[in-house]
Amino acid sequence: MLENIKGKFYENFLDIFTILILLVFIFQSFYTKKYIYLKLNIVEYLILSVFLCIVGLVILETINEISKKSLNLNTSKYHFENEMKEEINTSYSIIVKVICGFTIALNIGEIRILLILTAILFFRKTLIKHLKIYTINNFLKKKYESANIVLEKKILEINNMNKNLEKKVLDRTEELKNKNQKLYQIANTDYLTQFPNRRKFIKYLDKLIEKIGNNDKFALVFMDLDRFKSVNDWYGHDIGDKLLIEVSNRLKLILDENDFIGRQGGDEFVIILKNIESLDDVIFKANKIITNFQKTFEIDGRKLMSTASIGIAIYPDVSKDRTELMKCSDIALCRAKEDGKNRYKIYEKSMKKESDKKLEIETNLQEALEKNEFKLFYQPQMDIDMNTIIGVEALIRWDSKKLGFINPGEFIPIAEENGSIIDIGDWVIKKACEDIKYLNTKYFKNLKVGINVSPKQFIAGELVEKIKKIIDNNNMLSNWIDIEITEACAIKNESLAIDNLNALKKLGVNISIDDFGMGYSSISYLRCYPINTLKIPLELIRGINANKQDYKIVQAIINMGKNMNLKLIAEGVEEFSQAELLVYLGCNQLQGYYFDRPMEITALEKKYFSQRRGDETF
């Protein structure tokens, strides 16, 4: 403590010097006996003065220690410490001034002022404490005000940033909103016709069913363009797209604004006729569409024909379920196309049974080959002049384990639709070739077997290679095979047809046109194609006795065939009179129930060969 007092003596020299002057003046005052109020002698006053001086030094040291502790700041606040020391030094100068005032008051002779200043000197610690607090408060207030200014600037900057950010967010939100609307439009609109697409149609139909009243009705109409695929195949998809646009424009003109029009895809359109009062309203609009679509479409200078087939289902008469309603409308559309196209059909319950049966046939058809459910029946072809069998026609039959016997007229069109006709056709060719080789080899015959080839199988490719492979594998004569194609098959892809027919002719295979006169009969393709035989269809043979037109058509076909050196076979001969008339007209090769029904090879062998081996006449 004494060392500290010694050290601080020089540091607080001014304060100590002031106190010493005070002591001198006190001593002088007592010496002159100016102050007698204390009633102390000179020695007592002197002792009191020394004591007060020591007390003053102790007070100074204590204040410095407190100041040290109060200003014990870390290095990161160095600037703050310097400013605080400056303030405290100012406080010390104030104290010095107080002491100077004390001495002045002493000279003046005012004992009261002397006592007051002496009291101030003794309470210097408390005074400095309050002065320090005041100084710190002022310093902190300045810092606070300065910090407030900086903070307000920062807040202003942040507010400006927030405003800019909010503006950007709003702009971005608006941009995203516009993009979402565009995406919604794209997702729910057909890009070509700008009609609602299938997604939008289903949503619309669901809402309509949900909101419609109990007594309200509407018609769900499925519309399909006839021969649209042919337009795409012949003129290209660009022309097909333009045709669809013209179709959509025509539908807008025909139907009311209140009617919903959508495009499901391809050439399939869907229409919802709302608030119908009777079935006549629906029929009127359906006929209006059919009639308008019978007019040609003009596309890039071409006049195209594309009629419409329509299927109609009435809500809630048919069903209140959206899926079932759509299914029934589609069933009615299929019936319209099956019945000849260019017409409308309103759904009836009987259609559902037929559709279910068709679906069941299609499902089981996939496994029929694997389960060996198909069989070949053969119908004899007779030469009247020779009174003998000259060949057979292979006819497929399906005896399903689940469905029983299925007529070829039922499952062949389905096989054509789903593509399974190619595998079935390959099996028929292979099986028929094996059977005719068996008969010809065993009984030393030269019979030919007529094999029907579907249009899809004919243009699928590899038909010639498959037939050549079968001929080679069976080690048989190629002229035992008679490939029968329809006129539509020959004309649909003319260049491919000519290539395939020439290749088959090169193999030595016979070629026949089946049902000649029922399709696109043309003498020009008879001239170009390597054909051996024309087969007159049973539809013309049935009316040959009673219908003069049928008679003249059959007569013309026979005369034309003879003039072109083509063989002729009449199918569907069921009566003697028909056979007699055909022979009279010059057709000697006949086929039909009058001679025999189709039969399996075992029955054919037994009836025509095994019992009369060596006797070929009947």
Helix H or strand E encompassing 390 = strand 388-400
Q: What is the pLDDT of residue 129?
A: 63
Q: Considering the domain boundaries, does residue 387 fall inside one?
A: yes
Q: Given 102, 127, 146, which residue is the final one in a domain? A: 146
Which of these, 291, 308, 325, lies nearest to 220 by C-alpha position? 325
Contact 286, 292 (CB under 8 A): no
Q: Considering the domain boundaries, does residue 603 fall inside one?
A: yes
Pairing state of beta strands 481-486 and 510-514? parallel
| Dist. CA 355–CA 332, nearest whole Å | 10
Count the alpha carbons within 13 Å of 87 in the hemisphere toward its beta carbon: 21
Which of these, 273, 275, 276, lies nearest to 310 by C-alpha position? 273
Q: Domain check: are 381 and 339 in the same one?
A: no
Strands of the 308-315 sheet, one edge to the other:
260-265, 268-274, 218-225, 308-315, 344-346
Which residue carries 């076979």 as its tokens? Answer: 569
Q: Domain check: are 450 and 314 in the same one?
A: no
| Dist. CA 34–CA 110, nearest whole Å | 10
Residues contacting 347, CB < 8 A, separation 6+: 311, 312, 313, 314, 318, 328, 329, 331, 332
| Dist. CA 304–CA 236, nearest whole Å | 13
The residue count for the chain: 618
Q: Domain check: are 541 and 591 in the same one?
A: yes
Q: Considering the domain boundaries, does residue 597 fall inside one?
A: yes
Crossing angle between the packed helical segments 111-122 and 78-108, to the nearest 10 degrees: 160
Q: Considering the domain boundaries, does residue 617 fall inside one?
A: no
Per-10-residue mean pLDDT, the chain, length 618: 50 51 53 47 54 56 54 44 48 48 44 50 57 73 78 83 82 78 80 91 93 88 91 88 94 92 93 90 94 92 91 93 93 91 92 85 89 96 94 96 91 90 95 96 95 88 91 96 85 78 94 80 72 92 89 93 93 94 95 95 92 48
Q: What is the pLDDT of residue 492?
A: 65
Q: Domain check: are 332 and 454 in the same one?
A: no
Query: Is 398 in a helix, a strand, or coil?
Result: strand
| Dist. CA 114–CA 52, nearest whole Å | 13
Q: Domain check: are 7 and 134 in the same one?
A: yes
Q: Domain check: are 208 and 306 in the same one?
A: yes
Q: Considering the domain boundaries, does residue 577 fall inside one?
A: yes
DSSP strand E in 243-368: where? 260-265, 268-274, 297-299, 302-304, 308-315, 344-346
Q: Domain check: are 300 and 379 in the same one?
A: no
Which residue carries 């309050």 as its tokens? Answer: 130
Query: Is 273 in a helix, a strand, or coil?
Result: strand
Q: Considering the domain boundaries, does residue 460 fall inside one?
A: yes
Q: Domain check: are 264 and 129 in the same one?
A: no
Beta bridge partners of 406: 398
| DSSP letter, residue 196 | B
| DSSP letter, residue 4 | H
| Dist. CA 101–CA 65, nearest whole Å | 26
Q: Considering the domain boundaries, does residue 151 fall inside one?
A: no
| Dist. CA 210–CA 217, nearest whole Å | 13
* Side chain identity at residue 361, one-letter code: I
Query: Is 115 in a helix, a strand, or coil?
Result: helix
SS (H, E, C) 538-590: HHHHCCCCCCHHHHHHHHHHHHHHHHCCCEEEECCCCCHHHHHHHHHHCCCEE
Q: What's the domain range around 290?
A: 198-347
Count the alpha carbons within 13 Å of 557 in the hemisphere toward its beta carbon: 28
Residues contacting 44, CB < 8 A, separation 6+: none
| Dist. CA 586–CA 568, nearest whole Å | 9
Q: Where residue 526 sits, what CATH number does that domain have?
A: 3.20.20.450
- 235-238 contacts at long range (C-beta below 8 A, 24 or more positions apart): 235/299, 235/302, 235/304
Q: Considering the domain boundaries, does residue 455 fall inside one?
A: yes
Q: Domain check: are 565 and 432 in the same one?
A: yes
| Dist. CA 417–CA 243, nearest whole Å | 25
Beta bridge partners of 481: 449
Contact 454, 426 (CB under 8 A): no
Give DSSP secondary structure letters for 17-64.
Answer: HHHHHHHHHHHHHHHTT---SS---HHHHHHHHHHHHHHHHHHHHHHH
Q: Domain check: are 377 and 335 in the same one?
A: no
Q: Where residue 317 sits, what CATH number does that domain have?
A: 3.30.70.270
What's the structural domain count of the chain?
A: 3
Q: Domain check: are 335 and 381 in the same one?
A: no
Q: Domain check: are 441 and 383 in the same one?
A: yes
